[in-house]
């Protein structure tokens, strides 16, 4: 799964478009990074940038972005309403997908080290990246702002985490660290500001003076929006894993109902991680006993249940972070048309080859099993099987989804080995490093087709159950699916077999070959079982 980190740096410039554009261009030039938003403020004289990408690329983009800002912004001439202490004021790294807070702490430290050492700017760590309780919160570090740095930076307790312990007039100092993804979210209430605020006090963690609120990691107030002609419970969800948007929404609905008030949808401010939307989908699917496995349909369900288009249209492709990032670059082969893929296989190149084709064939086998399930589910003739199909279809659908990325993974698997082959071998140490990396590359070239075999092997249980229960009119489709799954496993086996001899780890080779032989034999047996089961149903 793709790792996604969000970076939300703030610069002390919100009026000069040339400087703002130059900083944005510095981010755009980094491969693997997508600039999502640039939000300048003239009165605050401050601009907030938002970009995402894999951890390594995001750190590189943050560094080049900062380098540009330091070169163009002179803090001796800066004034603005927002608290600030440097040309690049704060650079938080935020986990979005398949990364942890710890991963983002490491990003902030890598960034801070580079800025301190290569650019000579003092850098302080904050939030999760800081181990100093007196320098944990941003407001603690920013105290005194830019004007106060020259007096406190020379004190022992204010030695920067990275960079020189000296006042740099033009750049000031920078703060970096990691925080969790913050979701700004408003629930629409057909009532007064006071009524909305009462609900906010009930649900926010701080609650009232005499009692805490119900929801953890939630800040909230009530206000009235003349433009919308309604009140809103406006909340910041500091950690959507603790309190996700749908829980905040349902709690507001509960309180509003007790107050005889109507809730009229909600409004997301800014962007949201896909995970938060899928959590909401799972909640409503479970509560309403719904059967939905298509991700886009799940998103539509959430948009409807939360009323996310009640103020303005909620476009998933522009509001969900993962959907805003171009995914084709990560899976160039799987994203090709059928014609283009087939012609590429038939071209005068060694890749894509048998490994990628095997992964595709196996994926098609699982897909046909899922299809037969859909040909049975919701069909009046097979209504009694709906419960069974609800269990079988997701299993085969998920196997199909797991196998699709293997099409590209197999082609990429041999790259590490080829790179290692080209490494210098002039000395003993160079030869040793080259040999170790070649062995690691070969293991990767074995592990990818083994993954294809393991995923495919785990599909047989569900293919057999589909053969016993699925729409018999789709008999030939399931037979083709079973044979495709068997062929995909056989092809992946051949890719394992051809790469094993080059490995020197005899125990690893023995274990892999034993497992691969077992999966191959299992495929022959189960493919035959599926076809025999279908044939018996016709007799």
- How many C-beta atoms surround the C-beta of residue 340 within 10 A? 11
- How many C-beta atoms surround the C-beta of residue 422 within 10 A? 8
Indicate the SS3 state at residue 224. strand
Which residue of the set 89, 255, 408, 410 is catalytic?
410
How are beta strands 46-53 and 4-7 bridged, if at all? antiparallel
CA–CA distance, 294 with 302 (Å, rounded to integer) = 13
Please say if 477 is a catalytic residue.
no
Of the candidates 290, 294, 291, 295, the residue with the CA atom closest to the CA atom of residue 274: 295
Q: For residue 66, what are its two tokens? A: 């900062």
CA–CA distance, 224 with 517 (Å, rounded to integer) = 68
What is the torsion angle, in degrees rounded to the nearest 10, for the CA atoms of residue 22, residue 24, residue 28 and residue 33? 150
Q: For residue 134, what are its two tokens? A: 């007196």
Q: For residue 408, what are its two tokens? A: 């590209």
Cβ atoms of residues 496 and 446 within 8 Å: yes
CA 1: distance to chain centroid?
8
Indicate the SS3 state at residue 310. coil
Indicate the SS3 state at residue 170. coil
How are beta strands 88-97 and 174-178 bridged, if at all? parallel
- The residue written with tokens 């032989």 in the block is 517
Sheet architecture: strand order including 262-269: 218-225, 230-237, 183-190, 262-269
CA–CA distance, 196 with 255 (Å, rounded to integer) = 10
Which residue of the set 82, 103, 416, 477 is catalytic?
82
Please say if 78 is a catalytic residue.
no
Catalytic positions: 82, 410
């Amino acid at each position: 799964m793709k790792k996604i980190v969000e970076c939300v740096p703030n610069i002390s410039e919100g009026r000069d478009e040339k400087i703002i554009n130059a900083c944005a261009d510095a981010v755009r030039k980094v491969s693997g990074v997508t600039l999502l938003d640039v939000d300048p403020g003239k009165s605050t004289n401050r601009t907030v940038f938002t970009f995402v990408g894999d951890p390594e690329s995001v750190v590189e983009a943050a560094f080049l972005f900062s380098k540009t800002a330091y070169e163009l912004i002179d803090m001796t001439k800066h004034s603005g309403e927002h608290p600030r202490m440097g040309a690049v004021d704060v650079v938080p790294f935020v986990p979005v997908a398949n990364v942890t807070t710890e991963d983002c702490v490491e990003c902030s430290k890598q960034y801070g080290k580079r800025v301190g050492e290569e650019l000579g700017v003092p850098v302080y760590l904050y939030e999760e990246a800081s181990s100093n309780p007196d320098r944990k919160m941003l407001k603690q570090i920013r105290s005194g702002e830019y004007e106060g740095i020259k007096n406190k930076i020379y004190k022992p307790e204010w030695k920067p985490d990275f960079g020189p312990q000296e006042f740099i007039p033009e750049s000031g100092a920078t703060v970096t660290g990691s925080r969790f993804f913050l979701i700004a979210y408003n629930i629409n209430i057909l009532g007064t500001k006071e009524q909305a605020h009462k609900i906010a006090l009930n649900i926010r963690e701080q609650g009232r003076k005499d009692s805490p609120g119900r929801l953890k990691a939630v800040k909230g107030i009530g206000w009235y929006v003349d433009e919308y002609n309604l009140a809103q419970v406006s909340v910041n969800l500091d950690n959507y894993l603790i309190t996700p948007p749908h829980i905040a929404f349902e709690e507001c609905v509960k309180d509003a109902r007790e107050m005889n008030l109507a809730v009229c949808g909600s409004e997301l401010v800014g962007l949201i991680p896909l995970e938060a939307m899928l959590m909401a989908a799972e909640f409503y699917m479970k509560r309403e006993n719904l059967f939905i496995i298509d991700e886009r349909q799940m998103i539509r369900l959430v948009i409807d249940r939360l009323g996310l288009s009640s103020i303005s249209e909620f476009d998933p492709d522009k509001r969900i972070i993962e959907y805003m990032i171009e995914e084709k670059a990560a899976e160039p082969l799987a994203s090709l048309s059928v014609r283009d893929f087939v012609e590429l296989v038939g071209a005068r190149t060694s890749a894509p080859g048998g490994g990628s084709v095997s992964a595709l064939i196996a994926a098609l086998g699982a897909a046909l099993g899922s299809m037969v399930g859909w040909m049975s589910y919701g069909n009046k003739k097979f209504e009694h099987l709906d419960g069974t199909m609800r269990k079988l279809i997701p299993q085969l659908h998920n196997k199909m989804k797991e196998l699709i990325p293997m099409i590209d993974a197999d082609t990429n698997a041999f790259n590490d080995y080829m790179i290692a082959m080209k490494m210098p071998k002039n000395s003993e140490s160079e030869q040793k490093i080259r040999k170790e990396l070649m062995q690691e590359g070969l293991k990767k070239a074995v592990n990818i087709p083994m993954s294809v075999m393991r995923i495919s092997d785990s599909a047989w249980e569900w293919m057999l159950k589909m053969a016993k229960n699925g729409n018999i009119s789709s008999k030939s489709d399931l037979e083709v699916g079973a044979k495709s799954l068997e062929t995909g496993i056989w092809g992946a086996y051949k890719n394992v077999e051809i790469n094993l001899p080059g490995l020197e780890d005899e125990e690893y080779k023995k274990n892999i070959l034993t497992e691969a032989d077992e999966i191959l034999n299992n495929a022959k047996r189960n493919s035959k079982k599926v076809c025999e089961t279908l044939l018996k149903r016709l007799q």
